[in-house]
Amino acid sequence: MLHKPAMCILEVQNIVAGYGRVNILHGVSITVNDTEIVTVIGPNGAGKSTLIRSVFGLITPREGRIIFNGEDITGSKPSALVAKGLAYVPQDKNVFPSLSIQENLEMGAFILKKGRRSRMEVIYGLFPWMRDKRHVKAGDLSGGQQQMVALGRALMLQPRLLLLDEPSAGLAPNMVSGILEKVKEINSSGVAVLMIEQNARKALAISGRGYVLAMGRNEFEGTGGEMLNNPEIGRLYLGG
Amino acid sequence: MEQLIVNGIITGSIIVLGATGLTLTYGILRFANFAHGDLMTLGAYAALTLAGMNLPFGVVFVIAMAFTAAAGILLDTVLYRPLRKRGSIVLLISSIGAALLLRNLVLIIWGPRMRYYSQDIQIAYMMPFGIRIKPDELLIIGIAAALIVLVHIFLKKTRMGKAMRATADNAELAQIAGIDTDRVVMWTWGIGCALAAAAGILLGMEVQLRPQMGWDILLPLFAAVILGGIGRPYGAMAGGIIIGLSQEISTAFISTAYKPAVSFAVLILVLLIRPSGIFGGEGRWS
């Protein structure tokens, strides 16, 4: 099989961003290629969520630029970005609790006029258990199941890049591996992934590259393997 | 007693329509729109003018609903949207201003005296158990039931209806999913105000038209909304019937002048015992 050269799908250039008058990111830069999984780790308050929310247009950066698929998207609204091929799964409250699984998926493809049915079949192929439970309200599902519904919703429009904010947060240890397994599967189907993860070891193990963010700045960057084997990163960020 | 129950269902039908519209706008926009009652009045008077043009009843009804929907969307565009970021208290207070504005507009255009759609005297049908019901009253119950079924189908089956429920669940997530929440807000005003107009017309048919009519019924509307759990359309439907019944049945024991006090008492009881409404839970549209 021929490997076409990896293309840069996302380029975050030196962004400064925050809430109110407080800056949380003080010039952060990252890149994601169109075939890889990139994991961002770092202590609480490092600005990981702020970074992802800036990419998705929920926060407008004060400085710097965000390039997606060759286009400057700095300051674009989420609704415009969804149409361009970006999808985002927030850390919590990421399903519509009073809507059924099927309705949650439909909402992921709200902007689609037709072809929703066939996209839904793709999602049911990825998560077969959902098909039988498609009329169950998302609010009645377990945490792990909700996380998968949220992933399914985000995949409805066949995004180029999936942004995940702690997909395994609050899940039982066996579910953590299950979710990360799914992330890997999604990636191999041709979706680039940028994620934040607390379970840093497990996440880096499936990642092509990773970044360490600290105090709103880039601290370290390397391949997943390099980061897992770096003793200092192990001691500081991977829990020994 | 049987007669009072029937009266309660008639009053309840009107309250259900008003309360469902009120709770829809609350569910999406998270603020209590005090102008809702006066939008009812506006719809009722719009129908009066249209009826004066000798249009058929169905046409009058639909045009008045569309007119009030447009008025609601206009009100949102010029007043509420610019204030949305200021929080729900600012919106609530501005809605009281909007209520005053609408009521005085009605006064200026249609005058202060009582008006009737029709001066004809209706002969009541005699039903079993000695119940007497007028043709208009059967129409009121029928129209209210049909509109509620339509709202139900809209919320459960259409793309926009589902998007409204999604936005009520979690507005930020709706935006993240790519739902055009501005359009959802517009639809919510449209449907909420169309229902308000319907409620206003039915109220005008049952009693009479007065510039104060919508404002006076606002308390029972809020009682029904809170009884059913604020922001929950299906709760508001049940709450409306309960309020209608308790108002009418109370007249067997106390003076009819206390009808509004009955809904106030029910409201206070609910707030004391089950502040999240009789069906519990948060503002979920299930």
Please list the ranges in chain B whose pLDDT falls under 70.
280-286
pLDDT computed for residue A240 by the predictor: 56
Give the residue on A whose Cα is nearest the Cα of B163.
Answer: A107
**Is the pLDDT reported for residue A79 higher than 60?**
yes
Measured between beta carbons, the chain B residues lying within 8 angstroms of A139 are 284
Which carries the bigger pLDDT value, residue A235 or residue B279?
A235
The domain locations on chain B are 2-214
What is the pLDDT at residue B285? Answer: 52
- Dihedral sign for Cα atoms in the order B116, B118, B124, B125: negative
Amino acid at B206: E
- Tell me if A110 and B159 make a contact (CB, 8 A cut-off): yes
Task: Decide if B159 and A88 are in contact by the 8 Å CB cutoff.
Answer: no
Residue A59 with chain B: CB contacts under 8 Å:
none
8 Å CB contact of A107 and B174: yes
Q: Testing the interface with B: which of A52, A56, A59, A98 to mutate, by most B Cβ within 10 A?
A: A98
Q: What percent of chain A has pLDDT over 90?
A: 77
* Residue-wise pLDDT tens digits, A135-151: 999 999 999 999 999 99
Confidence label for A1 from pLDDT (cuts 50, 70 and 90): very low
Long-range contacts of A141-148 (CB under 8 A, 24+ apart): A141/A95, A141/A101, A143/A170, A143/A171, A143/A175, A144/A171, A144/A172, A144/A175, A144/A178, A144/A179, A146/A94, A146/A95, A147/A94, A147/A171, A147/A175, A147/A179, A148/A179, A148/A182
Helix (H) or strand (E) holding A64: strand A63-68
Q: Would you place residue A82 in the very low, low, confident or very high pLDDT band (cuts 50, 70, 90)?
A: very high
Q: What is the model's pLDDT at position B283? A: 46
Rounded CA-CA distance B237/B150 in Å is 13
- For residue A205, is pLDDT > 90? yes
Q: Min CA distance, A148 vs chain B (Å)?
A: 15
- How many residues can be counted in chain A? 240
Nearest CB among B163, B170, B177 relative to A93 is that of: B170
> Which residues of chain A make contact with B173, given a CB cutoff of 8 A?
90, 93-96
Residue A100: band (very low, low, confident or very high) from pLDDT cuts 50, 70, 90: very high
Q: What pLDDT score was predicted for residue B83?
A: 92
Backbone angles phi, psi at A192, to 5 degrees: -70, 145
List all residues 6 or more positions away from B40 whose beta carbon is below 8 Å from its beta carbon.
B18, B196, B197, B199, B200, B203, B213, B214, B217
Q: B28-63 burial string, b = 16+ CB within 10 Å, else e?
A: bbbbbbbbbbbbbbbbbbbbbebbeeeeeeeebbeb
- Quickly state the pLDDT bin for A3 (edges 50, 70, 90): low
pLDDT at A116: 85
On average, the pLDDT of chain A sits at: 92
Which pLDDT value is given to residue B88? Answer: 83
Q: Would you state the structure tokens that stand for residue B217, as one six-digit string? A: 């019924």
Quick check: B178 and A82 CB within 8 A? yes
Q: Which residues contact residue A54 at a Cβ distance below 8 angstroms, ignoring those fewer than 6 apart? A: A12, A15, A17, A25, A60, A61, A66
Q: From the CA of B49, how many Å to the nearest CA of chain A?
A: 40
Residues of B near A (Cβ–Cβ under 8 Å) read 159, 162-163, 165-166, 168-170, 172-180, 284-286
Mutate to test the interface with B, among A58, A107, A146, A162 (most CBs of B within 10 A): A107
Look at the pTM and tell me if it is higher than 0.90.
no
For B286, the closest chain A residue by CA position comes to: A98
Q: What are the residues of chain A with a beta carbon less than 8 Å away from any beta carbon of chain B?
A: 56, 58, 78-79, 82-83, 88, 90, 93-99, 103, 106-108, 110-111, 137, 139, 153, 157
Which of A98, A106, A108 is facing B284, going by the closest CB pair?
Answer: A98
Nearest-CA distance A145 → chain B (Å): 17
The gap from C-alpha B160 to its chain's centroid, in whole angstroms, comes to 21
Q: What is the pLDDT of residues A208-217, one digit of tens each?
A: 999 999 999 9
Q: Is the ipTM of this complex over 0.85?
A: yes
pLDDT, tens only, B183-242 = 999 999 999 999 999 999 999 998 899 999 999 999 999 999 998 888 888 889 999 999
pLDDT at site B65: 97
The predicted model gives A155-183 an average pLDDT of: 92
The answer to whether the Cβ–Cβ distance between A110 and B180 falls below 8 Å is yes
Which is it for strands B132-133 and B125-126: parallel, antiparallel or unpaired? antiparallel
- Residue count (chain B): 286
